[in-house]
Amino acid sequence: MIRRLLIVNRGEIALRVVRAARELGMCSIVAHSEADADSLAVQRADETVCIGPPQATKSYLNIETILQAAKDVAADAVHPGYGFLSESAEFARAVKAAGMMFVGPEAAIIERMGDKAMARQTAIEAEVPVVPGSPRAVNDLDEALNVAESVGFPRLIKAAAGGGGRGIRVAENAAALCEQLPMAQTEARTAFGDDRVYLERFIEHARHIEVQILGDGERAIHLFERECSLQRRRQKVFEECPSPALDDTTRESLCRSAVALAEHVGYFGAGTLEYLYDDITGEFFFIEMNTRIQVEHPITEAVTGVDLVREMLRLARGERLRFAQQDIQRRGWAVEMRINAEDPERGFFPSPGQVQRLVWPSGPGIRIDSGLYEGYRMPPFYDSLVAKLIVWDECRESALIRAGRALDEFILDGFATTAALHRRLVDDAEVRRGVVDTGFLERWLEAKPTPTPSDKEVVS
């Protein structure tokens, strides 16, 4: 049994786990930095413990300090949320060694599936399609050139230990590969402490589609897919469930492949398998697995009715997977808009500040995941995500219309956000038709720059 759950994260995901824990009768204990002492998650938790100064390396990433805090509060289990230590095999192993449950997969699975090159090889073993490229990390430039010669250009150079869109470069030809490979290795070493890279075929107009799974170590199920193609600098901005690109046959094949891979590794907990989908050929290719809950999980919950965070906690306390695959049904359409404290009019420059006025949209099919409240001051030390606006309706067209209405009602005074960008996106004709790929948003931003104050209509 889990009686006392330590939540090692911040912002909306910490609050999300607090609520799920309370519904299951668990005592929620939020571990927070000094900068987050007045956060909504801290206010809503049953108990709290400070784990250090604002710098993440001295608090949310400090394994030794976190384990001592867990011991001090007599925690039975640790939920890492997303980001920070959520995909750290070292942390998962240390939590277990300290006699607590880690809410997530075993450290060995995090290592295997968190390493992009190893995950690729594992997918091949499970007969899941992967993007043509090097079967494993390349050792040197000669090996990289041989792989590229056999498969062709353009190639993606990807960090084996990478994630979050970092450590990725495109090589259009052999000369570019010679130039980019050492740079990619240096970047990977700096960002991840691991300079291994591997190569993949570059699919120019690919969609980014991911499949949500749950597993209990023996059996796994899928909860359908999410479309995450609207990205800026390889960071997701807008997601929807299901994908507008897939027909039923392709969807079934894609989701079954995700279950096959999850069962192949004996996956435990909630996880997401990410794919590239080629609109031209209709092919899909596994690219990586996230061994944690995803930022965009609420749209899957909206469409399937399954509380993913609560299921993670049920599995962690020893329950078996409660659902058979046929129990999981889709109903309607959901979209998620990530609202960041960034100013699109200033090149998406971070704009932390204090919330002076806050009005959330309301009505059927609208959900807000956020830690904001009036008077709250955004700390400048962490990710710029301040809210997730999740909208559900019976079909995609209705969901986008409702999203526009919700954005019209949303008011936040005190600092700039990306809400206005989303308002423009949901009205865009191509977005309405679902004709997007991973490069769409950046092309769209270049072609339709954010209006400056002088360009906007002035109402006197």
Active site residues per annotation = 292
Handedness of CA 121, 122, 125, 129 (dihedral sign): negative
DSSP secondary structure of 249-278: HHHHHHHHHHHHHHHHTT-EEEEEEEEEEE
The helix/strand/coil state of 393 is strand
Quickly count: other Cβ atoms within 10 Å of residue 348's Cβ: 18
User: Cis link prior to 451 (omega < 30° from 0)?
Assistant: no
* Residues 4 and 27 sit within 8 Å (Cβ to Cβ): yes
| CA–CA distance, 310 with 227 (Å, rounded to integer) | 23
CB 297 within 8 A of CB 310: no
**How is residue 452 written in tokens?**
């400056």
What is the C-alpha to C-alpha distance for residues 457 and 16, in angstroms, rounded to an integer? 39
β-pairing verdict for 4-8 and 235-241: unpaired
For CA atoms 452, 454, 459, 460, the dihedral sign is positive
CA atoms within 13 A on the CB side of 177: 26
